[in-house]
Amino acid sequence: MRCEVVAIGTELLLGQIVDTNSSWIGEQLALTGIDSHFQVKVGDNLERMEFCLRQALERSDAVICCGGLGPTQDDITRDAIAKVMGADLQRDEVIVEKIRRMFESRGRTMTDNNRKQADIPVGGRPIPQMPGTAPGLYCPIGGKVIYAVPGVPYEMREMMQEFILPNLQERSGQKAVIRSRVLKTWGNTESGLAEILAEEINVLDEKGNPTLAFLASGIEGLKVRITAKAEQENEAEKILADEEEKIRNILGDVIFGIDEQTMESVILDKLRQDESSLCVAESLTGGVMASRLTAIDPKMETFKGGVISQTPFEEERGINRAIYAAKDAKKTTGADVSVAATLPHPSEEKSKGTVYLAIVIGDQEHTDEVALPGDRQRLRNYAVISLMNYCRKLLA
C-alpha cells in the first residue's frame, strides 16, 4: 500500500506558511506501515491541482490532500477531486446544518459562503470526524482512494487518527504493528555514531527487524530511531526495549534521553528526584537557558531563576570568570546547583568561539573550556546545550 501526500495552498509555495502537516502525516504513515514515496505541494489552481492528483493516483494507491477545504474562492480542493472522479458536486444539507450549529454555538451567524463546505463529490462521502466547520472527504476511485483533510492541524490530526489511518490499514490488509523509539544523543557526529554502531547495524541489516535510522537535529544533537514491527503491540515494545538496551551499552552516556525528553527536562527530572534546585548565570546566553527551563518548569519549583549580568566577574580572567558568575547566581537565588557560561575577558588571547563553563554543586566546583562554532546566536545556543549536557553528566 502506497500513499502520497498532496499539500494544497499557494501560501505554502511562497513560504508564508511552513508545511508541518505533510511531515506529520508522513511520520504517521510510516508508523502505520504505509509506504509514502512522494509528497507534493501545489498552489490554488484548479488545473495544476487536477494534474497533481491524477499523477499521484498513477503512482500510489491512496492520496491524502491537505488544505483547500475552506469557504473562500481559492478553496477548490473539492472541485479538483470532483474533476478527477468525473463527478458533480452535491450539497449535503445535513453538513450545512451541522456547520450552522457550530457557528451558533459560538454566538456567530453562518454566512452563505460556508454552505460551500458541504459540497461533496458524488460517489464520495464526508469523513465522520468533523472537529471544525470543514468536513473531510473520503472519495474512492476504482480500487484507489483520495482523502481530503483541512489544513488546520488539530482538525487534520483528528481525521487522520480516527478515520484515515485505520481505513488505510484495513484497505492494505496490514495486520502488523509498527512502533518507533527515538534515542537522543549529544557529543558525536552522525558519521561517528554510524561508525560506533556499524557492527550492530550490520546485524540488524541481516535480521531486517528492528531497523535503525539517524536523524540530525542541529543543536539538539543526533537522534537514533529504532523501528520495530510485530503482530502485537507488546511484542513490538519488547523488540524496542531489547534494542535500546543494546544501543545504550554501546553508546553509553552519549544518550541523554528518549522520545519527547529534552536535555532540560532530563536535568529537571533528576533535580526533582534529588530534591535539589537549579539556577543559571547568563551573561553570554542572554536568557536562552532560562527560557528553555521555564518552559518545562513554569512555576519555577525546581528552576529558581538566573542572573543576566557580567558585573560580578567583569575584571576576572580565565575560567574564574565562569566560576564567579555561577557563585553569584547561586548566592542570589539560593539554589543548590548553579551553572554559567561566559566568554573570555577581552584582553585574553583566545580563539574565536572559546567559552568557559562552570557548574557549582553544593561546595564543589566543576569547570571546562570549549570551542563552539557559529555567529553570536549560534554560539549562545551551543553554549546552552553544552552547559546543560555537562550538568547532566555531573548529576548522573
Full set of structural domains in the chain with CATH = 3-172 (3.40.980.10), 177-258 (3.30.70.2860), 263-395 (3.90.950.20)
Grid cell at residue 125? 462521502
Q: CA-CA distance, 198 to 84, in Å (whole number)?
A: 48
Res 46: pLDDT: 97
Name the strand (E) or helix (H) holding 40: strand 39-42
Contacts of 129 (CB under 8 A, 6+ apart): 136, 158, 159, 162, 163
Length of the chain: 396
Distance between CA atoms of residues 64 and 22, nearest Å? 9
Q: Which residues of the chain have pLDDT under 50?
A: none
- CA angle 52/54/57 to nearest 5° reads 105
Q: What pLDDT score does 215 carry?
A: 86
The span from the CA of 49 to the CA of 80, in Å, is: 6
What sign does the CA torsion over 276, 281, 284, 289 have?
A: positive
For residues 55 and 138, the answer to whether their CB atoms sit within 8 Å is no
Q: For residue range 203-249, list pLDDT tens digits in order.
A: 999 998 999 988 888 888 899 999 998 888 899 999 999 999 999 99
pLDDT tens track for 309-357: 988 898 899 999 999 999 999 999 999 999 999 999 999 999 999 999 9
The pLDDT, as a whole number, for residue 229 is 87
Angle CA 220–201–389, to nearest 5:
25
pLDDT for the residue 216: 84
Find all residues with CB under 8 Å of 111, minimum gap 6, and list them.
Answer: 71
Contact 236, 178 (CB under 8 A): yes
Q: Cα separation of 352 and 371, whole Å? A: 8
| Whole-number Å distance between alpha carbons of 82 and 312 | 70
Q: Which amino acid is at 365?
A: E
Strands 62-66 and 144-149, by their bridges, are parallel
Single-letter code of the amino acid located at 48: R
DSSP characters for 153-207? Answer: HHHHHHHIIIIIHHHHHHHHT---EEEEEEEEE-SS-HHHHHHHTHHHHHHHHHH
* pLDDT of amino acid 202: 93
Q: What is the DSSP string of 313-349?
A: GTT--TTHHHHHHHHHHHHHH--SEEEEEEPPPTTS-
Q: Facing residues of 215 across strands?
A: 223
